[in-house]
């Protein structure tokens, strides 16, 4: 076989920097010595999520902030913790990017839980707010410019079919840990 057609082992760092590594196996192609090499590439990365839970107390009881995603149903604010970022800082960043809110104090940790079929570790933090509107819209900075419609969900009401199952898991976890001040 000519040298230019030989398959060579590629270092994983040459294909995906750590921050962009796929979690699932993918087929990659690379040009080596003017020929294409195609092989399966497996690399697992540790992805964790931060989920800031904003709550408020009204005459109806304790409520938590949620939003309607234009293509993915009802959700709570959450996002990926970036490499080297602390979970609490990620929660504050995600809250700003997805809702436009800045928490005026340190969020209280509620705990962590593996969620979803991949058992991704979610870290939950709470902020009990006051003075926020009942509803608003925000163009997210990190979701391809989608505009999210924010609303308050009563903590005593179960989630319905408009919520993805991962948010049902999250809600069950944090609902019992939230307390009105």
Quick one: which H or E segment has residue 169? helix 165-175
Beta-carbon count within 10 A of 91 CB: 28
User: Could you tell me the pLDDT band of residue 14, with boundaries at 50, 70 and 90?
Assistant: very low
User: Could you tell me the pLDDT band of residue 44, with boundaries at 50, 70 and 90?
Assistant: low
Nearest by Cα to 131 from 153, 106, 157, 152: 152
CA R_g for the chain:
21
Mean pLDDT for 24-33 is 45
Mean pLDDT for 61-77 is 96
pLDDT (tens digit, 9 = 90+) per residue, 100-151? 999 999 999 999 999 999 999 999 999 999 999 999 999 987 767 799 999 9
């Amino acid at each position: 076989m000519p040298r230019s057609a030989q398959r060579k082992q590629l270092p994983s760092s040459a294909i995906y920097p750590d921050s962009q590594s796929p979690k699932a196996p993918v087929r990659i192609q690379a040009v080596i010595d003017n020929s294409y090499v195609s092989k399966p590439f497996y690399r697992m990365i540790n992805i964790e999520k931060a989920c800031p839970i904003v709550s408020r107390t009204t005459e109806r009881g304790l409520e938590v902030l949620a939003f309607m995603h234009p293509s993915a149903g009802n959700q709570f604010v959450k996002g990926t913790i970036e490499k080297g970022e602390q979970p609490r800082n990620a929660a504050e960043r995600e809250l700003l990017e997805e809702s436009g809110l800045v928490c005026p104090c340190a969020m209280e940790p509620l705990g962590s839980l593996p969620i979803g079929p991949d058992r991704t570790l979610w870290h939950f933090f709470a902020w009990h707010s006051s003075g926020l509107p009942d509803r608003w819209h925000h163009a997210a900075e990190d979701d391809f410019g989608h505009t999210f419609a924010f609303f308050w969900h009563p903590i005593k009401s179960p989630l319905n079919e408009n919520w993805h199952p991962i948010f049902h898991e999250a809600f069950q976890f944090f609902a019992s840990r939230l307390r009105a001040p």
